Structure 1
Amino acid sequence: MDFSLLLVLAVIVTGIIYLLDALWFRPRRQKRVASAEAASHDGLDAATREKLEKEPWPIDYSRSLFPVLLVVLVVRSFIVEPFQIPSGSMRPTLEVGDFILVNKFAYGLRLPVVHTKVFEVDEPERGEVMVFRFPDEPSVNFIKRVVGLPGDRIRYEGKQLYVNGEPVAKTLIEEGPAGSPQQLLLEERLGSVRHAIYNNPRDPGPQMGEVVVPEGEYFMMGDNRDQSNDSRYWGFVPEENIVGRAFAVWMHWDGGLPSFSSVRRIE
């Protein structure tokens, strides 16, 4: 189900009904009330007036819902949109059940549903966490970290990421961290961004020779390097598939009571 499409349709339908009422139906109701008052010597009683002024239910609902739906559409399409993390591919940065906020303005304004960019703002930077529409199935949203920018040369061999021929710096934080005893917890630096990653020393993982990121496309990887379906397997993300930049976790819910103890910025 495409929620954006449903929301746009709901705004259009309620907006048209709201407009038709303002231009056509409401003046006709007011005219009926005025005619009835003129024909009545004693004036209209409350029950009769209420009956004549009563709006049909589609108009009543549209008048109430249209402003709310319009605000939701504007905020969700152009400012910020919530998402839930469904998998562990971005651990330890993001856990399954984290609810995140995505800045829809960071990489330019795009029209809902058609995703056409109408206003340039900024371009993704290496190290940022980005939500995008999966190239092979655009109705599905993915979240990964930007590793390669247009023109970059990317290679991944022996658990080591190389950008433009240089190994990306990383340092060991902990062996067998709590909750992931088979992993190494490391800090990696991509551009100016320092962030944590997982590597499993017992898993050889994918090996990828050097590729060049095409113009207008991006190379994406998950922080859980051995458990991430990312650009190493299916290729690059076109600029038109970008949804926005993930910038905060605002809630965590794993099926029990929602928790706000993990509220944090996303690095």
Structure 2
Amino acid sequence: MLKKKAGLLTEIALMVFCAFAVRSTLAATFVVPSGSMEPSLMIGDRIVTMNFAYGLSSAQLPFATAPGEHDALSRRLFGRLPARGDVVVFRAPANHREHWVKRVIALPGDRIALEHGRVWLNGRELPWRDRGVGTEILGDGRRAEVERYDEILPNGVTHVLFKRLDDGPLDNLSSFTVPAGHVFVMGDNRDNSADSRVPVAQGGVGLLPVWNLEGHVMARLMGWHDGGPDFGRFGRP
């Protein structure tokens, strides 16, 4: 009897380990918690990530604890950097129990600055293309009209962003070089995103250690809006 119980417990433990291993190395789903990535991702959108896109790290385990920021990339098995424009899920630097989502704008060694809301990358202003007017869903459910633009990154990746304020509090940033082992991330909703423009001590991301990366967002599966499922949200962010 004891042998049977021990065998059953071993099988259960193995199943739990396999489930964690699959989640940690293959794919995972998350629900978008905020509007910081509008219009690409809306509150309630369910997204799926490819977790081995940037290699494997302990950040992908259920109970992750940061090892420290020094040479973060070396702590990833088969690690590689994301591409500019990748939408990524990561452990929030201030609270590793939280999963945040932003877009990678600059990589280690890139020189980045912001002037009047426009991103300058390695001495060149990222082009914008006017897309008219969009609708931002505010935190209390109200809707507001905002300007929409395509932003074009140096590698040709184009994404839509929202811009509501002229010379808002996050619109200017002195030029600096992104250090090794870190990336600079931003939300597509430029006036409503606590991202790399905001220090960790002030509730933002700051310069994101590569260790914190959990996965590359590959698709929106569906959304949950206005009290019901929205399957029309399926697609790439």
TM-score under structure 2 normalisation?
Answer: 0.80
| 1:152 and 2:129 are equivalent in the alignment | no
Q: Any idea what the Cα deviations from partners look like across 1:175-197, whole Å, max 9, x if unmatched?
A: 35586643111111122211100
Shift in Å at residue 171 of structure 1? 0.4
| 1:25 and 2:7 are equivalent in the alignment | no
Task: Give distance in 1, aligned partners of 2:114 and 2:167.
Answer: 14
Match of 1:245 among 210, 216, 220: 216
Map of 1:110-259 to 2, 5 A cutoff?
110-111=57-58, 112=61, 113=64, 117=75, 119-177=77-135, 181-190=144-153, 191-202=155-166, 204-206=168-170, 207-234=172-199, 235-254=206-225, 256-259=227-230
Task: Give distance in 1, aligned partners of 2:183 and 2:233.
Answer: 29
Match of 1:69 among 16, 20, 32: 16
- SS of the residue aligned with 1:73? helix
1:64–1:158: structure 2 CA closer, same or farther, 3 Å change rule? same
Tell me if the contact between 2:113 and 2:175 (Cα under 8 Å) persists in the aligned partners.
Answer: yes
| Structure 2 unaligned spans of 5+ | 68-74, 138-142, 200-205
1:177–1:138: structure 2 CA closer, same or farther, 3 Å change rule? closer
1:91–1:178: structure 2 CA closer, same or farther, 3 Å change rule? closer
Task: Give distance in 2, aligned partners of 1:178 and 1:69.
Answer: 41
- SS of the residue aligned with 1:25? helix
Shift in Å at residue 139 of structure 1? 2.2
1:59–1:254: structure 2 CA closer, same or farther, 3 Å change rule? farther
Shift in Å at residue 130 of structure 1? 1.0
- SS of the residue aligned with 1:188? strand
Q: Any idea what the Cα deviations from partners look like across 1:5-53, whole Å, max 9, x if unmatched?
A: xxxxxxxxxxxxxxxx8xx613xxxxxxxxxxxxxxxxxxxxxxxxxxx
Which protein is richer in helix relative to its size? 1
Tell me if the contact between 2:182 and 2:209 (Cα under 8 Å) persists in the aligned partners.
Answer: yes
Tell me which moved more, 199-208 or 158-167: 199-208
Q: Which has the higher contact order (CA 8 A, sep 6+)?
A: 2
Which protein is richer in strand relative to its size? 2
Map of 1:82-97 to 2, 5 A cutoff?
82-97=29-44
Tell me if the contact between 2:185 and 2:208 (Cα under 8 Å) persists in the aligned partners.
Answer: yes
1:75–1:248: structure 2 CA closer, same or farther, 3 Å change rule? same
- SS of the residue aligned with 2:19? helix
Task: Give distance in 2, aligned partners of 1:181 and 1:110.
Answer: 40
| Structure 1 unaligned spans of 5+ | 1-20, 27-54
Shift in Å at residue 240 of structure 1? 1.2
Instruction: Number of aligned residue pairs: give it.
Output: 213
Task: Give distance in 2, aligned partners of 1:151 and 1:240.
Answer: 17
- In angstroms, what is the RMSD of aligned CA positions? 2.5
1:118–1:199: structure 2 CA closer, same or farther, 3 Å change rule? closer
1:142–1:175: structure 2 CA closer, same or farther, 3 Å change rule? same
1:219–1:118: structure 2 CA closer, same or farther, 3 Å change rule? closer
Task: Give distance in 2, aligned partners of 1:88 and 1:178.
Answer: 8
- SS of the residue aligned with 1:261? helix
Tell me if the contact between 1:197 and 1:223 (Cα under 8 Å) persists in the aligned partners.
Answer: yes
TM-score under structure 1 normalisation?
Answer: 0.72
Task: Give distance in 1, aligned partners of 2:76 and 2:14.
Answer: 23
- SS of the residue aligned with 1:77? helix
Q: Any idea what the Cα deviations from partners look like across 1:54-106, whole Å, max 9, x if unmatched?
A: x6xx976x477445433321221100011110000000000000010111100
* Larger CA Rg, structure 1 vs 2: 1
